[in-house]
Amino acid sequence: MATTHPDTAGSSQTAGGPTMAKGWGTDAADQPLRPMEFERRALRPNDVAIKITYAGICHSDLHTARNDWGGTLYPVIPGHEIVGTVTAIGNEVTRHRVGDTVAVGCMVDSCMECDQCLEGWEVFCRERCTQTYNSPDRQSGEITMGGYTDHIVVRDHFVCKVPAGMDASKVAPLLCAGITTYSPLRQYKVGGGTKMAVVGLGGLGHMGVKLGVAMGADVTMITTTPSKGQDARELGASDFIISTDAEQMRAAATRFDFILNTIPVSHEIDGYLNLLGRAGRMVIVGALTPMPGFTGFNIIWWNRAVGGSAIGGIPETQEMLDFCAAKDIYPDVEFIQMNQINEAYERLLKNDVRYRFVIDMAKGL
Ligand code: NAP
Ligand code: ZN
């Protein structure tokens, strides 16, 4: 049994059996996204059904659609920055109510029993977390379909609350770009006095700047795009460095305690390592593919470290949303209509977005 809300009459979501969903996805790496219809599962007792109102466009969506990482199961419907309204709940759900404004990020399920899940690090579930798209459902084996859709069904634990008073239209990018940058800043205790740099001013990078500034760090933006320098200052950065300018990079040697590297492709890191001071750390969040080697001397001298960070767990995601609500932090967004998705992907590839596309579902699918 599930409960529905009178306000949702007329939406495609009904309690009971499976429902037909509409979305946009692609059939192959070289094909554009197109409208698709598919079935969403019937609510399980611990499921929440959500009418999606906004979906952010992450570069990972594009990597997956184009099979940049291999392993894409077509047809794929991306989207893991999701905001919407609860339309129905399973009879064991207590944390969410019909009518609530909620958010879903990169995960929709995990074993919830292993040490990682129990410690709030569901992303590292020993039995692999179920991702929001391109991932087999733990019970049915069906491949998950993401947020470029009119509605979604998600296990209650993986549904976050959008804090009261937040502008829900701008919250979606926090669910991936926000948590992926918030989590390493918290792990490595970025705060007052930290000299921090963010490499790559895109969806993740611009959130890294805003969050770093909000935590009290002195943030410098490192960009390949000279015209983004002024933007970096408006986002709160105290300075910017053009990474293609060897003189600027040389002058910044040993300047930073912490570097958040969001470059989305494989790249040489020696030049960035040289910017770290004593015991400085660079966290790579962008490049998932094989990277060229780096010079051992560049980490041994100055006691530097290189690490990585994957999104964040669900408790930390809620903490990040609450932090953003309290500090009035939002991504800079450009709203698009679903049928502009292919153009948006091309612009993302050309670094032509300031700084996150968000699909406004009210404009039509
Ligand atoms: P994005 O909006 O496209 O931003 C990436 C930025 O990196 C660009 O705006 C550009 O900034 C810079 N850049 C692009 N190509 C570059 C190149 N060849 N060399 C140097 N800089 C380059 O992407 P995003 O959505 O922020 O995602 C960034 C990466 O993080 C993606 O690969 C995504 O898959 C990954 N990601 C990882 C996680 C995780 O859990 N670790 C989570 C989400 C996303 P400038 O113009 O300022 O140089
Ligand atoms: Zn993402």
Mind giving me the DSSP string for 84-144?
EEEEEEETT--S--TT-EEEE-SEEE--S-SHHHHTT-GGG-TT-PEESSSSB-TTT-PBP
* Ligand lying nearest the CA atom of residue 105: 2
- Ligand 1 atom closest to 311 (CA): 40
**Which residue's structure tokens are 């979606």?**
172
Instruction: Return the structure tokens found at 190.
Output: 């970025």
Using CA positions, which residue lies closest to atom 10 of ligand 1?
A: 200
37 to each of 205, 276, 318, 359, how far by Cα in Å? 34, 49, 31, 18
- Note the helical H segments in 20-114: 59-65
State whether residue 2 is helix, strand or coil: strand
68 near 14, Cβ under 8 Å? Answer: no
CATH number of 179-308: 3.40.50.720
- For the chain, how are helix, strand and coil distributed in percent, rounded to 5? 30, 25, 45
Angle between helical axes of 177-187 and 314-327 (0-180°, round to 10):
100
* Alpha carbon of 57 to ligand 2 centroid (Å): 8
Return the pLDDT at 4: 44
Return the pLDDT at 15: 54
Residue from 58, 260, 311, 355 to probe ligand 1 pocket by mutation (most atoms less than 8 Å from CB): 58
DSSP state at residue 83:
E
- Note the helical H segments in the chain: 59-65, 115-118, 177-187, 203-214, 229-235, 246-251, 270-273, 297-300, 314-327, 341-349
Return the pLDDT at 364: 87
* Alpha carbon of 285 to ligand 1 centroid (Å): 9
Domain residue spans in the chain? 2-176+312-363, 179-308
State whether residue 147 is helix, strand or coil: coil
108 to each of 21, 80, 145, 161, 222, how far by Cα in Å? 17, 10, 10, 14, 33
Ligand 1 pocket member 348 (CB < 6 A): yes
Q: What would the pLDDT profile of 242-299 be if each residue is shown by its tens digit?
A: 999 999 999 999 999 999 999 999 999 999 999 999 999 999 999 998 999 999 999 9
DSSP state at residue 75:
S
Return the pLDDT at 5: 41
215 near 187, Cβ under 8 Å? Answer: no
Reported as half-sphere exposure (CB side, CA atoms, 13 A), residue 338 has a value of: 24
CA distance 151 to 10: 13
Count of C-beta atoms within a 10 Å radius of residue 82: 30
CA distance 243 to 129: 36
Using CA positions, which residue lies closest to atom 8 of ligand 1?
A: 202
60 near 80, Cβ under 8 Å? Answer: yes
Count of C-beta atoms within a 10 Å radius of residue 112: 16
Answer yes or no: same fold for 2-176+312-363 and 179-308.
no
Using CA positions, which residue lies closest to atom 23 of ligand 1?
A: 59
* Alpha carbon of 279 to ligand 1 centroid (Å): 25
CA distance 239 to 347: 26
Q: What is the pLDDT along the chain (365 residues), one digit of tens a residue?
A: 444 443 333 333 445 799 999 999 999 999 999 999 999 999 999 999 999 999 999 999 999 999 999 999 999 999 999 999 999 999 999 999 999 999 999 999 999 999 999 999 999 999 999 999 999 999 999 999 999 999 999 999 999 999 999 999 999 999 999 999 999 999 999 999 999 999 999 999 999 999 999 999 999 999 999 999 999 999 999 999 999 999 999 999 999 999 999 999 999 999 999 999 999 999 999 999 899 999 999 999 999 999 999 999 999 999 999 999 999 999 999 999 999 999 999 999 999 999 999 999 999 88
How is domain 2-176+312-363 classified at the CATH fold level? Quinone Oxidoreductase; Chain A, domain 1 (3.90.180)
Residue 153, H or E segment: strand 151-155
CA distance 345 to 299: 36
Residue from 263, 288, 345 to probe ligand 1 pocket by mutation (most atoms less than 8 Å from CB): 263
